[in-house]
Amino acid sequence: MSKLKLANSNKTGLPNTDIFKKKQIDLKRVFSKKAIPYLLLLPAFIYYAIFWLAPVFAGVAEVFTDVNGQFTLTGNFKLMMHSDLFDKAVMNTALFAAVSVMIQYFIALLLAVLLSRKFRGAKLFMFIAMIPMAITPTAVAILWKTGLIKEGWINSLLMFLHIIKEPIVFLNAEGLAAVFLIILIDTWTVTPSVMIILLAGLQGMQRELKEAAYTFGANKWRIFVDITLPILKPSIITSIILRLIAAIQVWAIAVMVLGFNKVPFLVERIAFYVDAVPGVATSEKLAFTFSFTTTVIVFMVTIIYLKFAKRNTKIGGSS
Amino acid sequence: MDKLNIIQKTVMGLVITTMVFSVVVPLLFFLSIAFSSDVEMTKFPKPLIPTFTVTVKIAPAEDDQYEVFHDRGDGYRSIITTGNPTRLENHFRRQYSVRVPGEQLLKDFSKTRIYGPMEFQYRKDFFHNFKQFFAIVNNSIPALKNSVLVSVYTILISLSIGSVAGYAMARYSFKFKDFINVTLLIVRMFPVVGISIPMAILLIKFGLFDTLLGLALLYSVPNIALTAWITSSIFIGINKELEEASLIFGANSFQTFMRITLPLAFPALTASSMYAFLTAWNDTISALILTNKNQTLALVVYKAIGTTSSGIQYAAAGSIILILPALVFTFIVRKYVNQMWGGVEL
């Protein structure tokens, strides 16, 4: 109200002599208004120019020069491909990302659908379900290591339940079995959180839709396929892609539970060349090339994500 | 449709119970191990609940010595025979996490000279493993301090730069806004490994390699974009008329920002800072790449585990310290966590 009055009084009570002055002020305001957002974004621009773009370019430059500083297009990639365990690292990373995401979403979706009704203690349940994801990854690795050692709690539990008679030596697992061990740990960590996300999506779903479908004689399976899944689809797709991005970068669990070289992953290789064989020129190059490769892969997945997640993640609306 | 029949109820109950158990049981066992003494670590099967006391059987021996027996689950076995108070004290501390002076132990045991072999029960020092973690593991105390400092630096950097950017994104429309949006998103999702290794070169050039500030500069990369995202979503929700009213009543734009906008945006700023904290606190790989002596707690815990499994209870105790703040902050910002993972608002 007061704003309106003020504006009105200004309009009617302005003497003629002030017109020129007012115009100047307007010009200044127009100019500064246009500049303000750029000024506000300037610190972020500068920061990203120095601490993001510069390292990225430096990294790319490293990847395309050899140990002696000479330009090479494929030299470092050849070095990487011929490095120990490269094939396995690629295979394991792909296998881990695909299988873990598949298992986690299958279980989470099943659980979410089963639990999509209101029940007592739901809040407490959500709290408990969030714990694994909230634990520091390093700590998750130690938690499972205390379970997987020969005298660890997993064997204790299995013996107590009379499922096994002799303790199993989990940490001797090799090859596929070891990868599945890591997948299992990741599934424990991630699935409850995925379930919460899907559950939230389901609970926000309109009841009327379901009821209408029931009235028209749809059975439960049809409702799931034709109503529940389509409603959850955007949520599922975006979160799956985000999960994939995280899964590609798995390493800490593998290294901490089983040690280097046991279950090679792309990022595990980077950590290996930084942590286990530092100071050697080729290992430095390998670390750079592995990190470049990982980044490119993640970047490609990110672009797919961008296509799907336009609505959800855009900040401040579009211009 | 509303009423659940008995089968549905049972299925739901079963599902909930199974889930709760599969989350809680590993955690309980883990806690139990973090509080286990050395001798309990060799016990098998492991208990779900940690014990608070230890029982030993003492028999008198020649030359003022005592024989210590302990039951590891397969009956009493002779462990050591000694009359040396320091040895006794060390043995009790290392093996049973019992901190009792050697003289006191000898005094207690002297009763056996009169009554014959007896059982003694001592209270375990419940935080023995935590003390041991900081005593044994190299750099663990400075690492804890480092972790806190790096987190604080990260919060300061990403909040000061990110919230301003978020304000610009929420309040103004301008050219390149879409482009900036996408860039911020890409930065947010950019793998931290992809940038840590080249960042090392840069930080060496600036003389910031192996410093806490250097590490914080890296953690701020995703967090500035994240802060911009979180704060802008709040700034959009803040009524623009409030700000305009404040301006009309004579406050300048700085006052308006400080008195009106900032308090309203406070929840977003808290959430962003907790997120920044979590990035810095939880990371291992970047700390591994960018530090040498100035390690963070997560890195120290990572290094503490090595590849063997001995002394794993100390690493477990260390990771409990690592978990607690992470757990608390994640719960506070869970709304954003879920949204970040692609979910809808809870």
Q: What is the CATH number of the domain that holds A102?
A: 1.10.3720.10
Same structural domain for residues A21 and A113?
no
| Total domains present in chain A | 2
Same structural domain for residues B230 and B117?
no
For chain A positions 175-214, those within 8 Å of chain B (CB to CB) are 188, 192-198, 200-201, 204, 210-211, 214
Closest Cα partner for A176 from A269, A264, A294? Answer: A264
Residues B275 and B267: their CA atoms lie apart, in Å, by 12
When pLDDT is cut at 50, 70 and 90, the band that residue B162 belongs to is: very high
Same structural domain for residues B120 and B140?
no
A144/B11 CB distance under 8 A: no
Same structural domain for residues A128 and A56?
no
Please report whether residue A27 resides in a domain. Answer: yes
The reported pLDDT for the residue numbered A275 is 86
The last residue of one of the domains, among B125, B152, B182, is B125
Query: Bigger pLDDT: A15 or B269?
Result: B269
The reported pLDDT for the residue numbered B343 is 55
Please report whether residue A196 resides in a domain. Answer: yes
Same structural domain for residues A205 and A283?
yes
Same structural domain for residues A93 and A57?
no
Residues B8 and B71: their CA atoms lie apart, in Å, by 48
Same structural domain for residues B253 and B165?
yes
Mean pLDDT by 10 residues, chain A (319 residues): 42 46 55 79 95 92 89 90 93 95 93 82 88 92 91 89 88 90 95 87 73 79 81 81 90 90 93 84 90 93 79 46
Q: Is A135 on the interface with B (CB under 8 A)?
A: yes
Q: Is A316 on the interface with B (CB under 8 A)?
A: yes
The reported pLDDT for the residue numbered A206 is 64
Closest Cα partner for A309 from A237, A258, A210, A221? Answer: A237
B194/A54 CB distance under 8 A: no
Same structural domain for residues B183 and B312?
yes
Same structural domain for residues A155 and A257?
yes
Contact B129, B313 (CB under 8 A): yes
Chain B CB contacts of A312 below 8 Å: 339, 342
Same structural domain for residues B205 and B261?
yes
Contact B343, A197 (CB under 8 A): yes
Burial class (CB in 10 A: 0-12, 13-18, 19+), A237: middle
Same structural domain for residues A81 and A58?
no
State the sign of the Cα–Cα–Cα–Cα dihedral A116, A121, A126, A129. negative
The reported pLDDT for the residue numbered B189 is 84
Same structural domain for residues A55 and A190?
no
Please report whether residue A288 resides in a domain. Answer: yes
* ipTM of the modeled complex: 0.87
Chain B CB contacts of A260 below 8 Å: 307
Please report whether residue B21 resides in a domain. Answer: yes
A3/B248 CB distance under 8 A: yes
Chain B CB contacts of A107 below 8 Å: none
The reported pLDDT for the residue numbered A11 is 42
Please state, for a pLDDT cut of 70, what percent of chain B lies above it: 95
Please report whether residue A72 resides in a domain. Answer: no
Contact B268, B286 (CB under 8 A): no
B285/A319 CB distance under 8 A: no
| Total domains present in chain B | 3
B28, pLDDT greater than 90: yes
Contact B19, A129 (CB under 8 A): yes
What's the CA angle centered on A24, arms A18 and A30, to 5 degrees? 130
Same structural domain for residues B289 and B145?
yes
Q: Is B324 on the interface with A (CB under 8 A)?
A: no
- Residue A82: Cβ within 10 Å count: 8
Q: Tell me the residue range of the domain where B24 lies.
A: 6-34
Please report whether residue A244 resides in a domain. Answer: yes
- Residue A13: Cβ within 10 Å count: 7
Closest Cα partner for B30 from A220, A141, A259, A306? Answer: A141
Please report whether residue B169 resides in a domain. Answer: yes
> Tokens in use for A316?
């401040």
Same structural domain for residues A59 and A92?
no
A3/B245 CB distance under 8 A: yes
The last residue of one of the domains, among A63, A92, A117, is A63
Residues B299 and B282: their CA atoms lie apart, in Å, by 9
Chain B CB contacts of A159 below 8 Å: 44-45
State the sign of the Cα–Cα–Cα–Cα dihedral B283, A242, A267, A177. positive
State pLDDT tens for residues B71-83. 877 778 888 888 8
Q: Tell me the residue range of the domain where A260 lies.
A: 77-313
Same structural domain for residues A32 and A174?
no
Please report whether residue A7 resides in a domain. Answer: no
Same structural domain for residues B20 and B48?
no
Please report whether residue B346 resides in a domain. Answer: no
The last residue of one of the domains, among B107, B125, B143, is B125
> 3-state SS string over A53-73?
HHHHHHHHHHHCECCCCCECC
Same structural domain for residues B100 and B156?
no
CA dihedral B187, B193, B194, B197 (to 10 degrees): 120
The reported pLDDT for the residue numbered A282 is 87
Please report whether residue A318 resides in a domain. Answer: no
Same structural domain for residues A188 and A298?
yes
B337, pLDDT greater than 80: no
State pTM to two decimals: 0.85
Same structural domain for residues B266 and B139?
yes
Please report whether residue B345 resides in a domain. Answer: no
Same structural domain for residues B19 and B144?
no
For chain B positions 130-189, those within 8 Å of chain A (CB to CB) are 160-162, 164-178, 180-187, 189
Q: What distances in angstroms separate CA B323 from CA A141, A149, A235, B330, one per listed residue?
A: 12, 21, 28, 10
Please report whether residue A215 resides in a domain. Answer: yes
Same structural domain for residues B61 and B173?
no
What integer is the mean pLDDT of B86-109?
A: 89
HSE-up of A46 (CA within 13 Å, CB side)?
7
What integer is the mean pLDDT of B170-182?
A: 86
The reported pLDDT for the residue numbered A107 is 94
The reported pLDDT for the residue numbered B331 is 87
A55/B167 CB distance under 8 A: no
Phi, psi of B47 (to 5 degrees): -80, 155
Closest Cα partner for B223 from A44, A296, A235, A53? Answer: A44
Same structural domain for residues B183 and B284?
yes
Same structural domain for residues A203 and A154?
yes
A62/B198 CB distance under 8 A: yes
Same structural domain for residues A231 and A156?
yes
Contact B277, B154 (CB under 8 A): yes
Q: Residue written as tokens 């910002």?
A: B333
> Tokens in use for A46?
């500068």
- Please provide the distance, in angstroms rounded to a whole number, between the alpha carbons at the two ends of chain A: 29
